[in-house]
Amino acid sequence: LVQRAYNFNAGPSALPLAVLEKAQQELIDFRGTGMSVMELSHRSAAYEEVHNNAIALLKELLSIPENYEVLFLQGGGSLQFSMVPMNFLKPGEKAGYIMSGSWSEKAFSEAKLFGDAYHVASTKEGQYRRVPQIDELKYNPTDAYIHLTSNNTIYGTQWKEFPDTGDVPLIADMSSDILSKPFDVSKFSLIYAGAQKNLGPSGVTVAIIRKDLLEKANPNIPAMLKYSTHSKNNSLYNTPPTFGIYMLGEVLNWIKETGGINELAKRNEEKAKLIYDAIDQSNGFYIGHAEVESRSLMNITFRVKDEELEKKFLTEAKNEGFIGVNGHRSVGGCRASTYNAVPFETCKAFSEFMVKFQNENR
Ligand code: PMP
């Protein structure tokens, strides 16, 4: 029996055991080719099947409408921060950024390099304890686009309902919650996500883009940084991260076999509830960072009531085998990332540990 860690890493993060086992089994001789996926030509029929299958599965699982393209890119969520304004923010236009955490700030500062970007709303003053409410969003109907971060990995907040921006293209960084719950793709013109939290290993970035937006892009940018280059070439313009795309396809397959996104959403709620209950029933021993209505089901952020105890908590958690429970280095505290592939049992063990630690240290 494999001894798997209680892995709460924020990304790269836990992958489904079944996927790892399948990859292991197929590693040396991928489906009769006599080589691993990593050794296949990206122009071979065997690889093309892997590639197209991953695209088809993503379209199926997210019910992506016909007028969208799925792209596999590189450079992580961070390169998307630059590619978005490079492609879609033209001279004389404005882009609105909804500020809900550190990743929105990073996206915004890249946009400033290319054009006129402004804040549509910001919850920074309240230490990003919540996402903005829809009626707080103030933008112009002529904006090039509005950008938001669907789940704030560091602060542990998440949008429950997305705004409807009408004719203004809505662009979302869904790096840390894509495929964790159902949502309506057609509200967005562009969605992007680094794979390393909910979709697979690091090295692949998924983009889902509405075809009409592709046509509006700035033509005077390097080929690799244009969405249209990748869309015209089915994400095979240059050598894609083939092994990562294979793993992504297998994760999508696992999601499908598990019952799809609705089933994952149900499981994610149950998992997060175990840990939020430990916080809420602690009489202030544990203090959640996020306001209740904005709580993330993916990153649960909290503090222990005093600093010394918090240090002790983190040390004991580590000693008990809970990996990745330290908050992001920029904010400290504690964070449990409960992405799709983190098992219920892992969350249950952690919530029990929280209760036990409180009882021993009250
Ligand atoms: N956006 C969000 C919401 C993230 O959580 C992260 C990484 N943690 C990034 C963007 C940056 O992604 P990458 O490391 O893939 O560049």
Q: What digits encode the pLDDT tens for the residues 327-349? A: 998 888 999 999 999 999 999 99
244 in contact with ligand 1, CB cutoff 6 A: no
Report all structural domains of the chain as residue ranges with CATH numbers, in order of start. Answer: 17-257 (3.40.640.10), 260-361 (3.90.1150.10)
Q: What are phi and psi of 322, to 5 degrees?
A: -90, 115
Q: What is the pLDDT of residues 258-279, one digit of tens each?
A: 999 999 999 999 999 999 999 9
Whole-angstrom distance, CA of residue 188 vs CA of residue 163: 10
What is the number of the ligand 1 atom nearest to the C-alpha of 153? Answer: 5
SS3 98: strand
Mutation test residue for ligand 1: of 153, 202, 330, the one with most atoms within 8 Å of CB: 153
The ipTM assigned to this model is 0.99
Q: Which pTM value belongs to this model?
A: 0.98
Burial 33-72 (b: 16+ CB within 10 A, else e): eeebbeebebeeeebeebbebbbebbbebbebeeebbbbb
Catalytic residue annotation:
103, 173, 197
173 in contact with ligand 1, CB cutoff 6 A: yes
78 is in an annotated binding site: yes
238 is in an annotated binding site: yes
Mean pLDDT, the chain, rounded, equals 97
Distance 78 CA to ligand 1 centre (A): 6
Six token digits for residue 330: 């920029």
Arithmetic mean of pLDDT, 110-114: 97
pLDDT attached to residue 1: 65
SS3 275: helix
* pLDDT over 70, % of the chain: 100
Please say if the pLDDT value at position 116 is more than 70: yes
Q: What is the pLDDT of residues 1-16, one digit of tens each?
A: 678 999 999 999 999 9
194 in contact with ligand 1, CB cutoff 6 A: yes
Q: Are strands 190-194 and 322-323 parallel, antiparallel or unpaired?
A: unpaired
200 in contact with ligand 1, CB cutoff 6 A: no
**Cα dist from 293 to 23, 73, 135, 268, whole Å:** 39, 33, 15, 16
Arithmetic mean of pLDDT, 39-53: 98
Please say if the pLDDT value at position 34 is more than 80: yes
pLDDT attached to residue 329: 87
Give, using CA atoms, the residue closest to atom 5 of ligand 1. Answer: 153
